[in-house]
Amino acid sequence: MDKAALRRALIEERLNMPDRLQRADLLQQVMRIWLVNRPDTVIGAYWPIKGEFDPLPALHRWKEDGELLDEPLRRRIGLPVVNKQHKTLTFHAWHPGCPMEEDAYGIPKPKDTEAIVPTLLFVPCVGYAPGGYRLGYGGGFYDRTLATLQPRPFTVGLGFTNGYLDDFEPEEFDLPLDAILNDNGVVWPV
């Protein structure tokens, strides 16, 4: 399997989906419902690139919902900041309107906000497969980061239906996700 070619094809397909906005709305709903009974108060996510699903509107609503509870919860959202030397990620507090700057890869990241440690981490999927395995961009940032985080956060892949890969062979360092959500619902665990 040529993973580089597979990545290119899946990204191209995702960028050209005529119904991407409708699928994104469906995945927003799936995500909001899935979050309802989660006990987490610190969630890590990502800034969407290359046609990825944008988790931030659902997470902002989750944050606001926490403030409306009988006993308000301070919920926090973190976005990744790349450590170029170790090729790992830390998560820094984000909220709509917070100052942002581009990282070494041109992706927006929170500027001068505190590092936070998520107990739940939403991870973008270029593709995903049975067993909770994900195809990312090939840099290994999430796998290296998850290998070092203790305790390891509950990890959830987010992707569109077309990213499903029936015959994907994970490599030895690939870590399975705990759950995967797409625009049809929960994909993993089944």
Q: Which residue numbers belong to the known binding site for ATP? A: 3-7, 134-142
List, as residue ranges, the binding site. Answer: 3-7, 52, 134-142
List, as residue ranges, the binding site for substrate. Answer: 52
- Contacts made by residues 26-33, CB under 8 angstroms, sequence distance 24+: 26/183, 26/184, 27/53, 27/158, 27/160, 27/181, 27/182, 27/183, 28/57, 28/58, 30/181, 30/182, 30/183, 30/184, 30/185, 30/186, 31/55, 31/58, 31/122, 31/158, 31/181, 32/58, 32/61, 32/62
Q: Give the number of other Cβ atoms within 10 Å of residue 93's Cβ.
A: 15
